[in-house]
Amino acid sequence: MLKDKTILIGITAGIAAYKICELIRMYKREGANVRVMVTPNALNLVTVLTLESLSQNEVFVDNFDIKEYKPEHISLCDEADIMVIAPATANTISKVANGICDNLLTTTVCAFNKPIIIAPAMNTNMWKNQFVQENVSKLEKFGYNILNPESGFLACGTTGEGRLCSLDKIYNKTLEILNQNNILAGKKIVISAGGTIEKIDPVRYISNFSSGKMGTALADAAYKLGADVTLVSTFDINKPYNVVKVESALDMEKEILKFNNNVDCIIMAAAVADYRIKEYNNQKMKKTSDYEIQISLVKNPDILKELADSAKITKIVGFCAESENLIENAKIKIQNKGCDYLIANDISRKDIGFSSDENEVYILDNKLNIEHLDKSSKSEIARKILEKVFE
Ligand code: C5P
């Protein structure tokens, strides 16, 4: 059930640390790739050798174990689908809740932007401490999944609240979150990204300012949600999903049309040039004494319209970039193009769109219903667009 998933376990120095050896086995049994990091204090309770043998992976302890070019807290963040901190001590909980990064584990949590489960375990009085409780509430408020400790006999010899919750609870919560994040499992999605390049001669071309960020964010989000993704991009990028590199609008048309009616959805996020050079010059054009020269352009195919005209089973999503009268123009465009959804963004704003990492968009459907997505990161916007399209 956990095939293709990477679970990052963070072990802190609670006596329940020994139980996590069994949790690693539970995840491994279901096919997960398990990465483990421990706080330096936790090494008094469990050994690196045990954790490495069980996880079949290198175990990380501090920030200076760097063997690859990328620091571990970033590479492990990229790799993992979820992070599970168990047992979580009062110390680590309080540091995380206050953004403190004084070891590899706390630094990683600070950089981790995917789901995090925290399973606290500690002495009853520590658990009831007002600052600890305040920090737990703070984490809960910000979306961390807290699995409260249970009552029972504690290692310190007392009985009360503070015992690590059952491993089954941690395991089931992990499955629940990872499945929620799999809403596009079994779906095939093709996304175009970047600005097309229309060559004039071997050294010159016409293009546009598209950075490809929105299309790539959509492909990343679809992949994370479990879809089988193909990105048709004008940029050569290395991704864990299929990337087809194209250059011109005609290249893009050829690659994209192959997928119509063979996939569940095609999203045209690319800025496709409306015109291309009428006659490509095989040799570099020479500078002349003329003040003015003429280059003839001819119309490129409208890929989005072609897709929408022939789509029977594939959902077609287009983008529209407008510098004025955004909604009115978008309404006209979705009717002309005939696509199922149109994502409208205002390119007159400097803080969003083109090369920005943020966007604010309107989603129009073919019945002209409109939904506004507030300004946020392109990856957040991408996830919301996919959730809407596959509602
Ligand atoms: O017509 P306009 O360029 O404003 O429409 C934008 C939408 O149409 C985008 O989804 C873009 O990817 C797509 N498009 C296309 N082929 C073109 C021009 C735009 O598929 N030649």
Whether 156 is a known active-site residue: answer yes
Do 165 and 293 reside in the same domain of the chain?
A: no
| pLDDT for res 382 | 95
Pocket of ligand 1 (CB under 6 A): 249, 268, 270, 272, 274, 300, 302-304, 318-320
**Do the Cβ atoms of 77 and 51 come closer than 8 Å?**
no
Atom of ligand 1 nearest to the CA of 321: 4
pLDDT at residue number 71: 62
Q: Which stretches in the chain have pLDDT values below 50?
A: none
The pLDDT value recorded for residue 66 is 53
Query: Are residues 165 and 196 located together in one domain of the fold?
Result: no
pTM over 0.75: no
Do 158 and 200 belong to one domain?
no
Distance 19 CA to ligand 1 centre (A): 55
In tens, the pLDDT along 281-318 reads: 999 999 999 999 999 999 999 999 999 999 999 999 99
Beta strands in 114-202 (DSSP E): 116-120, 145-146, 150-153, 159-163, 188-193, 198-201
Q: Please tell me the residue having the least CA distance from ligand 1 atom 19.
A: 272
Indicate which atom in ligand 1 lies nearest the CA of residue 319. 10
Secondary structure E strands in 303-351: 315-322, 341-346
- 163 and 216 assigned to the same domain: no
Rounded distance, CA 213 to CA 234, Å? 11
Tokens of 223: 């992949």
- The ligand 1 atom at the shortest distance from the C-alpha of residue 303 is 20
Give the 3-state secondary structure of residue 300: coil
Ligand 1 pocket test target in 209, 275, 304, 345 with most atoms within 8 Å of CB = 304
Shared domain for 339 and 238, answered yes or no, is yes
Last residue of a domain, one of 139, 161, 179: 179
Whole-number pLDDT of residue 132: 97
Distance 389 CA to ligand 1 centre (A): 18
Domain CATH code at residue 265:
3.40.50.10300
